[in-house]
Structure 1
Amino acid sequence: MKPIYVQISEWLENEILNETIQADEKVYSQYQLAEMFNVNPATAGKGINLLADDNVLYKKRGLGMFVAADAREIILRKRKNSKLNTLVNELAREAVQLQVEVDELVTMIKDTHQKIKEEQA
């Protein structure tokens, strides 16, 4: 299980990706997040700081943390580079072990991708 501060950071990332929180909009304070997640404010602050370290959030002195203009792109790039690469690696290893050929694997991915896109439309 991931540490709670990482979960908070990922939750905020999802809020940005879903455009619930927009660029240049103020994000929840560490105290609000602490109350929402029932954790110590320092833990919530650590989650916020992860995003600030990645330039997803920026600080306006005396006002709080705000979403950077290119936050969505930063998050998408980060997740694509880390999460998808990990999943693709696991998928490819499993496919080799199960003797699934590349063409069959690609067809499976395309079919699933299309089905999900249709469900979301």
Structure 2
Amino acid sequence: MRIITSLMSCLMALAGCNEKPSITTIHHTAAGGVDTLFSKTTVTGGVAKFECFASESGQCHFVVYRERCPAPAPGTNPAACQRTTLDDFALGIGKTHEIRGIPQDFRQCVSKQTLDGAGCGS
């Protein structure tokens, strides 16, 4: 049985049936057993897909950004990081948004309320 399973896996991989590696991030908060925010982001091959499943306000608000933090000189306090907003959008419940060509080191904030880049935590 192991030989058949291995053979089928190899054949499927050769036929292009293997999935590309991906990273999935889930944001979920609840109060009193009710979802106040529930979203999912999946990144596969430089394409990020953002999804809104639930939000107390009716929308999931996203800020997608990149952060550059200079290395501190020895014996000094770290300098402030510089943020560059890549995208800022809101999704209604059940809606999705894709960003193609997203850098690997992007970060995101999601909230049930409008955000700006400065309102995101580290």
Q: TM-score, normalised by structure 2?
A: 0.20
Q: Which has the higher strand share?
A: 2
Q: Which has the higher helix share?
A: 1
Q: Considering only CA atoms, is the larger Rg found in Structure 1 or Structure 2?
A: 2
Q: TM-score, normalised by structure 1?
A: 0.20
